[in-house]
A and B are shown apart, each in its own frame.
Chain A
Amino acid sequence: MLKLEGVSTGYGPVQVLYGVDLEVQRGEVLCLLGRNGAGKTTTLKAIMGLLALHAGAISLNGHDLSALPAHDVPKQGIGYVPQGRRLFAELTVAENIDIGLMTRNKGPATRDRVLEMFPRLRERLAQRAETLSGGEQQMLATARALCLEPSVLLLDEPTEGLQPSMIRLIRETVEAMRREGVAIVLVEQRIEAVLTLSDRVAFIENGRSREVVDTKTLDRTSALFKKYVGV
Chain B
Amino acid sequence: MEFGPHLLLATLEGAVGAAVLALTALGLSLVFGVMRVVNVAHGEFYMLGAVVAWFVASAMSAHPAFGFMAAVLIAPAMAGLVAILADRLVLKRLHYDPEATIVATIGILYIMQQTALMTFGPEARPVAPPFNTRIPLPWLEYGENGFNLFYPWGLSTTSYKLFVIAAAAVILVSFALFLSRSRFGLIMRATQLDRETALTFGIPVERVYSLVFGLGAALAAFAAVLIVPIQQAHYLMGADPLLLSFIVVIIGGLGSLRGTVVAALLIGMSDGIISVFFSPTLAKILATLLVALVLVFRPQGLYGKKRA
The interface of chain A, by Cβ under 8 A from chain B, is: 48-50, 69-75, 80, 82, 86, 88-91, 95, 98-100, 102-104, 144, 148
Contacts and interface: CB of A to CB of B under 8 A. Distances in A.
B193 interface: yes
Given A88-B189, A99-B190, A82 B201 contact: no
Given A91-B186, A95-B186, A70 B193 contact: no
B304 to A, nearest CB: 12
Interface string B189-230: 110011011111111110000000000000000000000000
Contact of B201 (A89, A90, A144): A144
Contacts of B305: 90
B183 interface: yes
B94 to A, nearest CB: 15
B202 A86 contact: no
A70 to B, nearest CB: 5
Contact of B193 (A88, A100, A148): A88
A75 B196 contact: no
Contacts of B205: 71
Given A80-B200, A80-B201, A86-B194, 13 more contacts: A48-B200, A69-B204, A71-B199, A71-B204, A71-B205, A74-B202, A82-B200, A86-B196, A88-B189, A90-B189, A95-B190, A99-B203, A103-B201
Contacts of A71: 199, 202-205
Contact of B186 (A75, A98, A144): A98
Interface residues of B, number: 18
Nearest to B305: A90
9 contacts: A48-B200, A50-B199, A50-B200, A70-B199, A74-B200, A88-B193, A90-B193, A91-B186, A99-B198
Contact of B190 (A50, A75, A91, A148): A91
Contact of A72 (B197, B198, B202): B202
Given A91-B186, A95-B186, A99-B186, A75 B202 contact: yes
A50 B202 contact: no
B50 to A, nearest CB: 35
Contact of A88 (B183, B197, B204): B197
Contacts of A98: 186
CB-based closest 4 A-B pairs: A103-B202, A86-B197, A71-B204, A70-B199
Nearest to A98: B186
A48 B202 CA distance: 10
